A = this chain, B = another copy of it.
Amino acid sequence: MNNNFKISNIKEKFHQFGYKYTGQRQLVLDVLSAHLGSHLSSNDICELLKQKQINIGQSTVYRTLVMLEKMQIVQGTNFEDGFTRYELVNDNEEHTHHHLICTKCGSITDIKSDLLEDLEQYIVDNYDFMIKDHRLKFFGLCKNCKDKE
């Protein structure tokens, strides 16, 4: 099978965790990297592969995504629409980025900047809580839907 997904040391990372770098796992990574900026559910990934005449088992995709999340290669998020959606983690990001979710058309936009430093400091100071990660979602209307109101 092709090796379209290019991330340095990705194969090594699998080995570090005692996993094999199989064809199916490459395919899942290929789909994710071919859709940067998208937020794909397990089913999305299967469908996209089917369009390329490739069939791999749903459960394999689920197991692969759980594995990739454990390796911190992908990040799964629940957008309150019924299923977990995944995207590749950007190595440069220290923390998870934020999402703008349009409640009308369902589009999801990433926000790169963090801008939570002040709030995190406030929490550390006032709640004695050790923050490891965060998830921030804004619900509202995207540019297109807003203008059509």
Give the interface of A toward B (CB within 8 A). 78, 80, 100, 102-103, 109, 111, 113, 115-116, 118-120, 122-123, 127-143, 146
Q: Select from chain B the residue with minimum beta-carbon distance to A143.
A: B128
Give Cα A115 to B102, complex, Å: 22
How many copies of this protein are present in the complex? Answer: 2
A70 to chain B, nearest CB (A): 14
Given known contacts A135-B136, A135-B137, A135-B139, A130 and B115 CB-to-CB distance under 8 angstroms: no
Q: A129-B143, A137-B135 are in contact. Are A115 and B118 (CB under 8 A)?
A: yes
Complex Cα distance, B100 from A132, in Å, reads 11
CB <8 Å contact, A140 and B136? no
Residues of B within 8 A of A120 (CB): 138
Among B118, B129, B131, B138, the residue within 8 A (CB) of A123 is: B138
The answer to whether B123 touches A100, judged by C-beta atoms less than 8 angstroms apart, is yes
A137 CA / B59 CA spacing, docked (Å): 29
**Quick check: A127 and B146 within 8 Å, CB to CB?**
no
Q: 19 more A-B contacts (CB under 8 A) besides A103-B132, A134-B137?
A: A78-B80, A100-B127, A102-B129, A109-B127, A109-B129, A118-B118, A123-B138, A128-B142, A128-B146, A129-B138, A129-B143, A129-B146, A130-B140, A130-B141, A130-B146, A131-B138, A132-B140, A133-B138, A133-B140
